[in-house]
Amino acid sequence: MAVAAGLMAAGCVAPPTPPAAPSSSSAARPASAAPTAAARPAETLSEADWRRALAQHILAANRDRVFEGRPPHPLKAIVVLDLTVGADGRLHQATVLRAPDHARELGAAAVRAAQAASPLPPPPRALVGRGAVRVTETWLFRQDDRFQLRTLAQTQLIQ
């Protein structure tokens, strides 16, 4: 019985701890200062929170190529990338997993968007494993070649 309870407890994940109060060294840094590429992996982010932070970072880095609001129906293209992100947030690789035949160039556009956002938010330490994390993200392209990322997109507008 004790063994079963121990095994069950080992599978549990502790809830995230609240952020610590700023130290005197971090208080001197301006609020607008961006984390460095060598930033340590986030300790308290869940995988879902990190994926949202990753998507927000990519959209912010490509603001001029992003559309707002609900994705239209039909979309021009849906592109899926496999991203390999190092423990320091550097994008090691971006590979097109899916791009439509009629808009193959949008696969390359999605790769460029991911590369433009590097370094990315570092993944949580629990995900890093052997030094990098692989994650897929889906680019939703409108007719004017502006995009949103599926992780943050609203429900598609069906007319």
Dump pLDDT digits (tens) for 22-55. 333 333 333 333 443 344 445 678 999 999 999 9
- Residue 159, pLDDT score: 62
User: Measured in whole angstroms, how far is the alpha carbon of residue 27 from the centre of its chain?
Assistant: 27
Lowest mean per-residue pLDDT among 5-19, 72-86, 138-152: 5-19
User: 119: cis peptide before it, omega within 30°?
Assistant: yes
Mean pLDDT score, 121-131? 88
Taking all residues of the chain, what is their mean pLDDT, rounded to a whole number? 79
Determine the pLDDT at residue 2: 39
> Among 35-39, 55-59, 129-133, where is mean pLDDT lowest?
35-39
pLDDT value of position 43: 62
Question: In which region does residue 47 sit, left (phi positive, over 0), alpha (psi from -120 to 50) or beta (all else)?
Answer: alpha
What is the model's pLDDT at position 130?
73
Q: What is the pLDDT of residue 61?
A: 98
Find the range with the poorest average confidence among 59-68, 91-100, 109-118, 150-159. 150-159
Least trusted range by pLDDT, from 49-58, 97-106, 123-132: 123-132
Contact by Cβ (8 Å): 54, 135: yes
Q: Is the pLDDT of residue 113 over 50?
A: yes
Residue 9: pLDDT over 90: no
Q: Mean pLDDT across the stretch 64-85?
A: 96
40-149: CATH, from 1.20.950, 1.25.40, 3.30.1150, 3.30.70: 3.30.1150
